[in-house]
Structure 1
Amino acid sequence: MTEVLELPVMRGATVIAGRDGLDAWVSSVNVMEVPDVLPWVRPHEMLLTTGYPLRSHDADDLTSWIGGLADHGVSAVALKLARYVEELPAAALAEADRRGLAVLTLPGDVSFDDVINQVLTVVINRRADTLARAEQVLQDLVGVVIAGGDLDQVCQGVVRHLARTAIVTTMDGRVLASAGELPERLGELPGFDPTGRFVVETELPGVSAEFDGQHRLVARVPGGRADLGRLVLMREDGAFTAEDNHVVGQATTAAALAITKHQAIAAVEGKYRGDFLRDALLGRAGDADRVAAHAADLGWDLRRPLAVVVAEAEEAPAEDAVARTLPERFRAAWERVVGTDDHAAAVAGFSQEVVVLLGVPAELEPAGVTERVVQMAAQVHGRGGGGRRTFATGISRTITDLADLPRAYAEARKAVQVGRRLHGERAITHFDALGVFRLLSQVEDRAELASFVAETLGPLAADTSEEAEDLRTTLTVLLDNNLNVASTARSLHFHYNSLRYRIGKLERILGPFTTDPRLRFAIMLALQARQLDHP
């Protein structure tokens, strides 16, 4: 609108209200010839009127008229006063100020045709400039990709043309590439959660926002049937304009090209790496020296103590177009997270499973290895949403000889399976923490195991009532406290005599387990076996 006011035809114009709206963009001009003009106005339009259609409007009508124009996105209203309308009432001008709708007066001798011609000339020239700029940006950024550049270089090109900061994320918010000025922790930026993920599910594309003087624009990176990610732009020197949006569209096209190119290369490399690692995990890739040498060519260091980590994701619907990309995104997420912790770790994806060969000090206790994996899994999980996978994680014992790799892989897979049964879909379990569950899970005849539980626990095996659950809890705590009644009562917050009564009831159901050590052992084993099927 400021540019419009500088036109020769507008030299006699006066702004009488809505100065905050002078930064509005004008895309077209319309003339008001009827009182009920609202159905015909369009956003970013400049409205011209002699005031004739308003001559019978009172103050309330004119105030409502100003509000209606603002609701429809009109950029400015230019009136010829005195002939039909002497002045706009104070309430209408106040409404224009409140809504940021620029209201101008035009001299009586100004021709509307001259205003329309000069404004549309500016609009057309500006659109031509925008198209030329967009074409230049597209050629520049696509040229980067064609010349072999990656997504980071595309982001650098976007920074040259559009913003101070450019970030490309996946559809679940993980950062793929960035350029420009970034804080040490991405979680400090607006729209990012503390884990450094962009909150795709709440930050809508196409919306320009301002945070503490910093302007941000989020754009879709299109990929056919499903978006490939988001382009996040930030700058301090003014809000993103409609012309910028058109140029951003070219930037997202280049980003989509770079992502698609990377995905194609990664798919081929990933299959090759995955096939080799699968052979190594199954003991059919050759001797230890050959495996270590070939892994070194792939950037993996297997000549050190290793723990095998298996992350197994929930199944994704096969008919979902987005879901088909989830396994690759799941692997890529683990690869990025593990790479920041151990750049020489081997990572490969097998359908719903990701396997990591993580370097660990031989002397590190299982609890220390588990804590390290817990931190990695937390980063992969993020805060949920946006397509992130729910997965369970298993960790093997540390090995120092690659000949033990198949055994370690089997341990990690067993830890995943048992951990999920015991602790749910997000369980993170070290093989050494399985204890007796490791042996119980090896029983192939599940019917025989269920029969043992039913015979040993009697009605407490299958009863899901609240009373039965309380009795099972009492029994478990009592056995954990080595039949110490006082300690058990304190743990359960029971009166001593109340606990004695419950113990008597349990012995009537199960037999004299307080005096028969073999029965007591059988009950303990049955409780553990039951937990495998009733976590």
Structure 2
Amino acid sequence: MGKLANDPAPGSPELPAAGGKWPSRAVAGLTVRKAMEIPALAGARLLAGEDGLDRVVQRANIMEVPDILPWVKPHELLLTTGYPLRNTPQGLPGLVAELDARGLAALAVKLHRYLDALPDEMVHEADRLGLPLLLLPDAVGFDDILNQVLTGVLNKQAAALERSWEVHHALLSVVLEGGGLTELVTKTSAVLGVPVMVTTADGRVLAEGGNLDDLASWRHTPCFDTSGRFRTEYEPGGVHSHVDVPGWHAVVSIVAGRVDHGRIVAFARHRALDDADVNVLERAATVAALAVNKQLAVTAVESKYRGDFLRDVLSGRAGDRDRIVAHCESLGWDVGRDLVVVVAELDPESGPAGSAGLQLRPVQERFTVAWQSVVQRRDPRAAVVGFAQEVVALLPVGARPDPESSVRDVVRQVSGDGGGGRRSFSTGVSRVVDDPSRLPVGYEQARRAVDVGRQMNGRGSLAHFDSLGSFRLLSQIEDRDELRGFVRETLHGLAADDDPEMEDLRHTLKVLLDTNLNVAEAARQLHFHYNTLRYRISKLERMLGPFTTDPELRLDLALALKVLQMRGLS
């Protein structure tokens, strides 16, 4: 289940999102609705295509010949006197369809000189496609329309550029004045008027800004998994509006060089996000990349210092109890309480190599950040340090009688739903450590639990030291051939792992041993008739010997079954 981010390169924020759609204004310019408010078009009447009034106008052109199609550009307002429409080869409804396919913003027609009216079929087709069809007043001049439309477009684009620069300067000042991601998302949220968050590349939330209650409600939508991870693998760059998610959300990647550092996401319930909002997020993403790189440089130094000291503590070289407690206090850690030592190791990679595209930070570094972000949300004074091959966390026991359940909650949050290309990992938990001087013992217990737990349960295991039992002893035997020989000599034909009948008999034997040879209870658990189980016991004794009366043989059989349960013996 648990995986760490190794997701593919995100989609371009300039493209419509897969599975969603852009809002009506995905490019800079005037909408047809706003263009109809300029003086030259104030008297224009909408004949059809009301659904397309939010199409964007970026330029204007005049249609003087029937074969206008090769010159039509997207987001264009096309003006005509009707002269070229008299003998259009493909028919006027077909012309409307062709213009719509080329991304035309609107078609404006001046009648009465060459055409008295537009055919009903043409009007119906424009209405069906949502292509605005405007009827121009007789007195209006095309040159006035061209000048005023282009002036309006340029003014809007200039205003957008000016606002973009102001926003960029405001966001950049956050970092220059020493702020981090939290301050950045707070400022971005204030600019946009909607909640904003920054996540890692695999969707783990790093910082939030704006109305946190509103943002918390979004965590219950399909955009997030049950652990609170934003599903970046299903949310490429761009603006999204999903059927099962209220409102809009916009996603922009945080990239520095070729390294994917995460996502910045804005959420809006009561208004559509548009290209201006995406532009602000892109500016914020650039600044966020600076903040992340700055934080990485600081963290690298601090992590080495913290890691060196915790390594001394776990190896017993850090001094007496008082020195350990005092030094940990200076690092913001509280080790003077009941703790469990947790060791988490990434499982060996068995899948194909990642695809080309944006690079991700080293997997062990991302794994450490994942543990730190989850644990520090629960207890800011808990120690979490990443070493070369593992992450070590000193988690408080608290009032819960079962510390393993607390660790399981943390593992669940670090794992998420396995999305975003996360790597699976195995986790070991020590016994409760009530004195810092016993942390080295707890560390060895947790490391042993990782190794044995992975052998017992495979990848993604979570094992407590106290639950290992005899597996702790069996795992110390390095000679795997000796273990395999012991299994064959003890179980005989029952050791075959490719025979369904033998596997069934092994299960019967295990239940009998687990119930201390209580035939009635074993029959109940196996859903067998009492006499059926008695027959199976006789068959097992013919194969294995008189285990019902020989306690030494029962011990050997129980150990052999445990060896078979361990992984990595084949």
Same fold (TM over 0.5): yes
Tell whether 2:198 aligns with 1:164: no
Contact 1:186-1:197 at 8 Å conserved across structures: no
Q: Secondary structure at the match of 2:233?
A: coil
Q: CA deviation at 1:370?
A: 0.7
Aligned positions of 1:212-231 closer than 5 A = 214-231=247-264
**What pairs up with 1:139-288 in 2 under 5 angstroms?**
139-183=169-213, 184-188=216-220, 191-209=223-241, 214-235=247-268, 238-288=271-321
Alignment-derived partner of residue 303 in structure 1: 336
Moved more, 432-441 or 218-227: 218-227
Measured after TM superposition, the shift of residue 210 of structure 1 is 7.1
TM-score for the superposition, normalised by structure 2:
0.87
Confirm whether residue 477 of structure 1 aligns to residue 477 of structure 2: no
Q: 2:549 aligns with which of 497, 502, 515?
A: 515
- Aligned-residue Cα RMSD (Å) equals 2.5
Structure 2 residue aligned with 1:413: 447
Tell me by how many angstroms 1:82 deviates.
Answer: 3.2
1:393 aligns with 2:413: no
Alignment of 1:14-413 (within 5 A): 14-35=45-66, 37-57=68-88, 61-183=91-213, 184-188=216-220, 191-209=223-241, 214-235=247-268, 238-315=271-348, 322=359, 324-361=361-398, 365=401, 368-413=402-447
Q: 1:472 to 1:52 in 2, by over 3 A?
A: farther
Segments of structure 2 that go 5 or more residues without pairing to the other structure are: 1-31
Distance of aligned partners of 1:39 and 1:514 in 2 relative to their CA distance in 1, 3 Å threshold: farther
Would the alpha carbon gap of residues 511 and 42 (structure 1) be closer, same or farther in structure 2, given more than 3 Å must change?
Answer: farther
Structure 1, residues 377-422: CA drift from partner, whole Å, max 9, x if none?
A: 1111111211333111110001112222111111111111111222
Conservation of the 8 A alpha-carbon contact between 2:259 and 2:360: no
Query: Distance between the aligned counterparts of 1:323 and 1:457, measured in 2?
Result: 49
Question: Structure 1: 5+ residue runs without aligned partners?
Answer: none
Task: Kindly state the Cα deviation for residue 38 of structure 1 after the two structures are TM-superposed.
Answer: 4.4
What is the deviation of 1:131?
A: 1.1
1:475-501 CA deviation, whole Å, 9 max, x = no partner? 111211222223222222223333333
Which amino acid counterpart does residue 177 of structure 1 have in structure 2?
A
- Contact in 2 for aligned 1:208/1:239 (Cα 8 Å): no
Deviation at 1:204, TM superposition (A): 2.3
**Other structure's SS at 2:259 match:** coil
In 2, the alpha carbon distance for the partners of 1:38 and 1:213 equals 39
Shift of 1:89: 3.2
Q: Secondary structure at the match of 1:372?
A: helix
Question: Which digits, 9 at most, give the CA deviation of each residue in 1:449-475, with x for residues without a partner?
Answer: 222122111232243221221111111
2:453 maps to a residue whose letter is: G
Q: Distance in 2 between matches of 1:281 and 1:7?
A: 74
What is the CA–CA distance in structure 1 between the aligned matches of 2:199 and 2:438, rounded to whole Å?
38
Inter-partner Cα distance in structure 2 for 1:72 and 1:372: 58
Equivalent position amino acid for 2:391 in 1: V
SS of residue in 2 equivalent to 1:227: strand
Bigger mean CA offset, 103-112 vs 451-460: 103-112
Distance 1:345 1:500 in 2: 55
Which residue of structure 1 aligns with residue 539 of structure 2? Answer: 505
1:350-369 deviations in Å (ceiling 9; x for gaps): 134211111225x864xx10
TM-superposed CA distance for 1:288, in Å, is: 2.3
Q: Partner residue of 1:436?
A: 470
* Cα distance between partner residues in 1 of 2:417 and 2:71: 46
Q: Would you say the 8 A contact 2:64–2:84 is kept in 1?
A: yes
Displacement of 1:423:
1.8
Distance (whole Å) between structure 2 residues aligned to residue 472 and residue 38 of structure 1:
77
Contact 1:314 1:352 (8 Å CA) reproduced = no
Identity %: 51
Shift of 1:33: 4.2
Tell me which of the two structures has the higher relative contact order, counting C-alpha pairs closer than 8 angstroms and 6 or more residues apart: 2
Summarize the Cα distance change of 1:318–1:204 in structure 2 as closer, same or farther, 3 Å threshold: closer
Residue-by-residue CA offset, 1:176-219 (whole Å, 9 max, x unaligned)? 11111122455235622332221111122112437887332222
Larger deviation: 485-494 or 274-283?
485-494
- Structure 1 pair 30/447, CA: closer, same or farther in 2 (3 Å)? same
